[in-house]
Every structure is written in structure tokens, then in C-alpha cells.
Structure 1
Amino acid sequence: MCTLMNFLGYGPPIRQARRDAYRERDRLMNARWTSIITMITTGSKAEGLTGFYESDVDTMYVVEGIMCLENGVDSDKLPRETTVFTLNTGVCYHGHSRLNLRELYGDIIPSIIRDALCKDENGGVFLSSALFVDAANDRTSVPTEMRHERAGPSLPISTGPFHTDNVFSLRCHCPVILSRWAERTRHWPPPDIVRKVVTMGSFVTPVGFKGSEYQHVEWRICFNTGENELMSSLNNTQVYIYVLLKLVVKDVLKPVKKEITSYTVKNIVLWLAENNPQAQFNESSLFYWLREGLEKLRTAILKIELPYFMIPERNLMAACGLDEGQKCTWVNTITDMMNEVSNTLLRLPRIRKAIISHPEPLVWYNKKRVEMELLLLKLINRRRQCMDMNGVVNMSDPMLQAINSRIADLVIEVHTRMNMEGSRLNVLIEILNMMLM
């Protein structure tokens, strides 16, 4: 099974190549922009766990010059021009906060912040999350992009098969919350990773608690860059468990209203890693830990409870909208899967197809697919390097031409073999897109 996961694009080399490519993408984009906004790729792309078109690109845009501080934290060490908000967590659900203005510096404050400032009944100034998203949405219109309905803090867009979830956020300094996380007794992560996660700090994103009548003025505390680091420090078996559990949610449970998400699964795997010795996670124990993960998922659904890994007081299942009928159906389905052990994986279309095509066709196709993905990742970053200030790409660049030529050759190779095996699909761009799914 571990060999199969490597063939499907979840092995260490391709994961690292994806992480490197998206970090380079961020670096190139940020070098072209002003210092007002910083772009950070997060989620499965930053973790290296999904192919080019396999899932949305989660992109966080951090408004610079703004800092949100825990109540009682001194702002003296911040640059003088920083606009400071205080986290007011006492009136919100765990992991959420209101942002009360502490220090404002006139002309320096970005308009996206100024347009979202409001006054409360006592004359105090706070930042509205709803107005902040509206302001961000008004400033990010691109004619070639298709906009989709807002999803939580995200402003989803798409260009052809390329989908992006854009979230605008603010930097946050919450040493008390991070200290509580760092001081927990644990098997994982190791001390150096714990220290690194703490130094990465946190962010607030513009979304309130679903069950709150004041969610339009609430913000959620999150640790995107720290979680990227945590996911990168998981061992192979833990990564494969995460991928398989995500496939279970997507292909078997099939939630319609995001009652359960990949983020739910991620937190289950992080808790498993923290609470158990690392040496127990190896190839021979993969199915044991998959069953443990399914049991944790079943318990979360049954009890409507799953603590957030970074802030355990926050229940990730709270206000998830799961009704009793759906709960019973999912609990019974997961119970059946736990009893099936390894046959569980036959329920997953991607795994089932890989088993059927193993070994020769799968090995041949995987080699072509991986090369194609690496070329596309290289192509995107090279195009940015060859782009002038007006957005015009120098297509005469020898490296761009070589990459495009090899991509064309690969598509033709795959098309030729498909025809030899009975396929009548002749639209090369469709074959290219299918290879990148």
C-alpha cells in the first residue's frame, strides 16, 4: 500500500518538489508587489499533498503594517508605523476574537482597513470582519477570473480548471495561546519543530463562529504557517493515513455542506501523532493507524466534538450542521469500513483503479504524470521570471520553450498509448488536464 501511495504522487520526493515550487511562487509574487500585501500559499498545496489541479490552491494575503495583540501584550517593540488592534477573546467562542483598535497611524493605514473600521455603542473603534471581506472583494477584481460565492473567510475564484481560495488576513501575536500549546506533554513534534512553530506566530482571518449572532464582527485565530511546518514534519505513514482519510471523506462520506472537511481529518492525524510514539508509525502498521483514524472520525461525528489541535478549547465540530439522520448513516458507514480492514480501500475509486492497473501501466503512467506536474510547476514560476512590469511574458526565453516542448511531447506519448489501448479521446488539452487532476 505504501508503494502504491508513492506511485499515486504522495511520496517524499514529489511532496518536497511541490512545497519548493509553491514557496518559490510566493517569493516571486511578493518580489513584484509592494510591501502592503504578502502572499502565502497554505493548505494541501503548501503541504505538497495534492497535484496541480487535484484541489484548490489556498492562498493567504496578509495585510502588512497591522498587528493584532493579545490583551496585555506590549506594543513597544513594534515598528512605530504599525497599526495595532487588541484581541478581545472574552466575548467570543474559543479561537475567535473581536479586534479593538489600540493604536492608529493616520495616513499609513491601508484603505482596506480604514473601510472596515466601526464604532461600538461606547465610542470604541473595532474592525468588522464582514466589511473587511467586502473591501477585499472590491479591490481584487480581475476580468479574466470567474468569481464564486464567498465560503467562510475565502473569496474563491477560478481561471479555467485552476481554482484558488483567497483569504485576506492580518498578523497576530498571541504568546499565551502558543505557550499553552508548546508546553503540552507530547510524543510529537520534536522540540525544535515546536520552537519553530511558536516563532511563526499566528494570523486572524475574517470569519466568526457560525453559531454567533455577532459573527460579522468576529475573527478566527489560525496558525497557517505553523501548521504547514507541522504537516511537513510528519513521517510517511502519518502522511498516508491523512491522505487516505481525506479520500474516505471525499469519496465515501461525500459531505455536501462541509459538515466534515479535510481540516477535520488533518486535526485527527495531528492528535494521533502527538499522543503516540513516532516509532509506532511505520509501513507495517499503516492499516492499524488507518483504523484508529477512522475510529477518531467516527467518535467526532457521533459526539459532534473534535478539539482543535492548536487551541483544544475550540470544538471543530461545533455548529457543523450535521443532522441526526446523516450522523447515523456516516457512523454506520465508518463502522463497516473499520470491520473491512484492508478491503476498506476498495471503496476509494482512486485506490481501486491503481490496484487494478498495477504494476506496469501504473508505473509507466505515473512516471509521465509526475514529470508533467514538475514541468508545469517549473513553467509557472519561469513565466513569472520572464514577465515584465506590464505582465507580458517573454515567450522567446529558451527555458520556457524547452518546457513547453517537453510538455507537448509527454501529452502525445500518453495520447498514443491511450489510442493503442482503445481510447478515442483525441483532444490533447483534455488529456493534459486529466493528467494534472
Structure 2
Amino acid sequence: MDTRVYPGHCILLQERPAHKRWKVIRNPLCDGGYGAVLLSSSLFLDECSASTPYPNIVNHERAGPSRPGTLGGVIHVNRVLALRCHCPGIFQRLTARPSHWPSAVIVLKVMSFRAYLTPVGFKGSEHEHMEWRICFNAGETELVDNLNGTQAQVYVMLKMILKDVLRPCKKEITSYVIKNIVLWQAESNPQDEFNARSFFCWLYDGLRELKTAIVTKQLSYYTIPERNLMAASGLQDKQQHKWEADIKDMMTEGPRDILRLPKIRQAIFASPEPMLWFSKKRMELEMLSLEYVNRHTECQNENGVVDKSDEIMQAILRRRIELQVEVALWMRVEGSAVNDLEDICNSMLM
């Protein structure tokens, strides 16, 4: 791995030929000059896109490393292919940073997770077609899981503001930006200052950071601070000024800005118990669907044939049916005439 490219990216060099090589790895190999063999991220993605292991998924236009698609004509999915790698040195830098969070125990656990290389280079780079982006999904998930209640609420609220108020059309700003804002916020401030009384204070602080990122087009990646998450956002001046004004208006309005969010308005007027129950069921169904896709890939041989007798796949399917039946029974009690389990599943995942 050669990291002498744009921060947060690398170029993959072949150390030695493997005894058994997959077609999707063999075909994208390129001559890098001076005897070096490189793995092209662009060719790797082309090779993977040419194969369609899921016949019931309609593929859409590629978006960075993601392969968007529609499952069964209803459920929208994003598939990102990645290669696993081990680079604990990057996470070790977290321990050297003066911070209030995360604790040493959490950092050690995060360091045990592997990183992932996604097939996308830095936009505009001379070697964009050869570069791979370094990601730390598992480690960052662990960090998010260790946010306290107020920090998690700020994270959720900022994501809702992004989705329901700013509404980016071309992913100029993503929930990943929001995640990094919250992680920096947690690291930079004493943990006892994050409590229920200070929720709006930290929400406004997050909005200020988001506005600053939009205005300056600068936000450091939490794990690799040298990488600017806004560098290739494609944010245009007109959109930039509009979002800046929108955030200013929200901060001026105070807590009333929360009422702009449809989900919050719904929660205010609806009974919380059924919503909480349904949210838990939907979250479990989403996790099962993701696990099924991952397991489907693991149980697939070189010819694309899937071993559907796999016990884990069968267990996932059984639990999915159980969840659908639970929701269907609840809907029937509430007077709904919908009883098709697949329709219920698709509606829950939309």
C-alpha cells in the first residue's frame, strides 16, 4: 500500500501473485512501470459492475464507490464493494491527540477493527483511477455506539435537519459529514457538559460547525484529519449561500426549528409506544436485510451460485418472516386490510 497520494487515499501494489486469484482482482491489475503491478480501483469497479449476482436488483448509475439499485422495484439499496486491510497505526494517532473522548479502552477496541479500501480516488487527482479510499466503518461505528445520550440525540437531529430541511440532491453534504461533526464535538469537550439541559446548546454548536463547513468547504476527517471531507463535495456558490441562510434562520428561530421536521411533528401528536415498538421492529428488519446481503455474498462461489442451504441464511429468513408476521398481526388489530407479508416488508424498508 502506497499512501503518498491525497490524504485518506492510497495506491495498491501487488506484493506477490496469489496461488488462486479471483477474476475481479486479476483483470484490474495494471503495469505501474518499473516492474510494479498496481490494482486499479476504476477497473475493479467496472469488473464488479459487469457481474450481477442479484438478478432481482435493478442497477442504477454508479455514484462514487457505490452501486445503487432497486430491489424488487421497491427497496432502494446502496452496495459498496471494499477490500479489507489492517492499518492500526492510523488509529494509534487517536491516542496521541489531546482529547476528552474517547477513552483509552474504546480506542484500544477501535484499533482492533480492520479498515476497508473502497474503489474511489480523489476527484480530480492525476491518479484518480488508481487510488483507493481508506475507510474505517467498523471503528467509526464503535465510536458512534459510545456516544452518550445527548450526543446521539444531536447526531440524529442534525441528520434529520440535513434530510428534511437542507435536502441535498447530489450528496454535496452527506450524513457522513454530520457524523464527523459530532465526533469532533465529542472529542473536543468535557463529557459531563453533554446532558439533557445542554441539548439545544450542542445542537446549535453542531449547526454552526455545519455552516462553517459549508461556507469554508473545509471539514477534517475525524480519523485522518489531513483529509478534507468537503474538498470534492461539488458544492456550488448558489447552493452554498442558500444553505448558509437556511441554517442561520434555524438558529435564529431557536427550538421552533425542530417543528420543521415532519418526523418530530408526527412524534409529538402520535402515541409514543407504538412508534417505539415499530421503530425497533424496522431497525431489526433493516439489520437482518443487510446481514442477508452480506451472507449471500459470502455463500456465493466463483460461478455466482449461492448455497441457499446455509444455516445462517436460513435463520435470517426465518426471523424476517417472524417480524413480518408480528407487524401484520399488529396492523390487523389496528384495522388494516393489508396482509401480504412481502408488501409489509417492502413498506417497512422504504
Pair in the same fold by TM > 0.5 = yes
Q: Secondary structure at the match of 1:215?
A: coil
Mapped to 2, the partners of 1:414 and 1:217 lie a distance apart of 51
Please name the residue that 2:303 is paired with. Answer: none
Please name the residue that 1:417 is paired with. Answer: 334
Please name the residue that 1:422 is paired with. Answer: none
Please name the residue that 2:76 is paired with. Answer: 163
Please name the residue that 1:99 is paired with. Answer: 12
Contact 2:11 2:131 in 1 (8 A): yes
Q: Is 1:271 the counterpart of 2:184 in the alignment? A: yes
Contact 1:208 1:220 in 2 (8 A): yes
Higher relative contact order (CA 8 A, sep 6+): 1
Note closer, same or farther for the CA distance 1:121–1:392 as it changes in structure 2 (3 Å cut).
Answer: closer
Aligned partner of 1:117: which letter? L
Contact 1:271 1:309 in 2 (8 A): yes
Contact 2:281 2:323 in 1 (8 A): no
Note closer, same or farther for the CA distance 1:404–1:294 as it changes in structure 2 (3 Å cut).
Answer: same
Note closer, same or farther for the CA distance 1:195–1:251 as it changes in structure 2 (3 Å cut).
Answer: same
Match of 1:370 among 256, 264, 280: 280
Mapped to 2, the partners of 1:294 and 1:189 lie a distance apart of 22
Q: Post-superposition shift, 1:402?
A: 9.4
Contact 1:415 1:431 in 2 (8 A): no
Q: Secondary structure at the match of 1:216?
A: coil
Q: Post-superposition shift, 1:148?
A: 1.9
Q: Post-superposition shift, 1:195?
A: 1.2
Q: Post-superposition shift, 1:372?
A: 6.2
Q: Post-superposition shift, 1:436?
A: 4.8
Mapped to 2, the partners of 1:253 and 1:399 lie a distance apart of 36
Gaps of 5+ in 1: 1-85, 420-425
Task: Give a deviation string over 1:237-263, Cα, whole Å, max 9, x none.
Answer: 111111110111111001011000000
Q: Post-superposition shift, 1:404?
A: 4.5
Note closer, same or farther for the CA distance 1:188–1:391 as it changes in structure 2 (3 Å cut).
Answer: same
Mapped to 2, the partners of 1:109 and 1:412 lie a distance apart of 49
Q: Post-superposition shift, 1:273?
A: 0.4
Percent identity reads 44
Contact 1:187 1:275 in 2 (8 A): yes
Contact 1:338 1:344 in 2 (8 A): yes
Please name the residue that 1:154 is paired with. Answer: 66
Gaps of 5+ in 2: 300-305
Please name the residue that 1:352 is paired with. Answer: 265
Aligned partner of 1:143: which letter? P
Aligned partner of 2:114: which letter? G
Q: Secondary structure at the match of 1:414?
A: helix
1:151-300, aligned counterparts within 5 Å?
151-160=63-72, 161-300=74-213
Work out the number of aligned pairs and report it.
336
1:121-136, aligned counterparts within 5 Å?
121-136=33-48
Contact 1:268 1:296 in 2 (8 A): yes
Mapped to 2, the partners of 1:199 and 1:273 lie a distance apart of 21
Higher mean C-alpha displacement, 397-406 vs 340-349: 397-406
Mapped to 2, the partners of 1:379 and 1:107 lie a distance apart of 34
Mapped to 1, the partners of 2:57 and 2:212 lie a distance apart of 41
Mapped to 2, the partners of 1:260 and 1:337 lie a distance apart of 18
Match of 1:304 among 184, 207, 217: 217
Task: Give a deviation string over 1:291-323, Cα, whole Å, max 9, x none.
Answer: 110010000001100000001110000021111
The alignment yields a C-alpha RMSD, in angstroms, of 3.2
Mapped to 2, the partners of 1:273 and 1:411 lie a distance apart of 41
Q: Post-superposition shift, 1:266?
A: 0.3
Q: Is 1:137 the counterpart of 2:49 in the alignment? A: yes
Mapped to 1, the partners of 2:105 and 2:254 lie a distance apart of 36
Mapped to 1, the partners of 2:52 and 2:319 lie a distance apart of 33
